[in-house]
Structure 1
Amino acid sequence: MNDLLSHGLQGFGPLLAQGTWMTLKLALLSLALSLALGLIGASAKLSRSRLLRLPATLYTTLIRSVPDLVLILLIFYSMQIWLNDLTEMLGWNYVEIDPFSAGVVTLGFIYGAYFTENLRGAILSVPAGQLEAATAYGLSRAQRFRLVLFPQLMRFALPGLGNNWLVLLKSTALVSIIGLADLVKAAQNAGKTTNDMLFFLCLAGLVYLVITTLSNRLLKHLERRYNTGIKELAR
């Protein structure tokens, strides 16, 4: 079986495995950054301060209005140009941005806008009376968030978060255009070398399908966990 698989991959198995690992690292780190930006953005949009609401609104409106591919190219090359100008002004040596770091920042920044709206809607779905009760009991802001707000907003946010995660995962394929050796790039290289592009691209699609299937199972588990006791309370 191993010999058959090795023959079918024509020696490109390790390259595809490295590409898969690169894709997973890129997606997970981008997810972490997106969640952080989403929480900050949602808090800003729900703030009473116009100085906080306006930048957050501009951020989500702009990012969600421009295609991801355009944003990836724009952010990546803008970052490199700004860094070049800075190093030249300070008299430092030329610094080239690492494609992986650029990919994480770019995808995190883009999907942070989608997570902002997702989390904002979830926060609004939590009854305000529960937060007021937590305040009356003397809980600090951090305790209110950890014990009252977060468990409930996750119940409302998880379907949207799961959908955004799957879209983010597929969008990692776009980062290959800035030179990152992800799964799609590895499949393209293997296909060009062997003149069997269709096979390797289908194989890459199969790997994405496996990852998304496992992700869906994990998301279903999380949804059941955060919905524990809800049906009993509704009766």
Structure 2
Amino acid sequence: MAPAKEKEEEKTVKAIKSMAEYIENEIAKAIGNELPCQLGSVLRIASQYFSNWGIKIDERELKGLERYSIEAYKNEWENVDADVYTAIHEAVIDSNLGDGNHQLNTEIAKFASEIIADKICRMEKIVMADIGAGTGDTSGSILAEIKTRLGVEALKKIEIYFVEPADESNIQIKNLMKKTYPEVNYQRVMATDYANLQMLKKNTFDLVVSNAVFHHHS
């Protein structure tokens, strides 16, 4: 890449990083210096929205920004702890949505267990992926429903891939599976970027769960 082009790319990246800092500072002014949970990076916002801030980038510059967006994503999850999940739970309640995540997981569990019940009698094993697994609550709800409907023996035929980048979440997933569902084989994929998701080959899974969760105040 020509020196002039490199300087232009650096200028664009600097502008976006500066905008990210500006947004975070403005929020901090409004609600105090101690934010209740970690903010997502503006670098992860879809590129078509950059023009709203007067930032224009071409395809070549966009590729150059990719490494920065991946870095921002990883940094966002590096220091996630239990307080983040507490803040999410409180935000749902404050928004008058009740225990929204639990309700979602309950409905997903009913639906998923019907699919598994239909397949499990004629298959040696059921392979499931939980993408964006968090602390494993969605899969935990599904396994609880399977155990109730089909018994412990059915759990032995289930294998789960937990796709989740946060270290704290993976610790909680490990504890959940070890203490509550020791019969179930599972693997943890501790990243959700494209390179790591490529390891999950086509036709590997019988069921993929990617349950939406409530994150923010309405």
TM above 0.5, yes or no, is: no
TM-score with structure 2 setting the length: 0.27
More strand by share: 2
Higher relative contact order (CA 8 A, sep 6+): 1
TM-score with structure 1 setting the length: 0.26
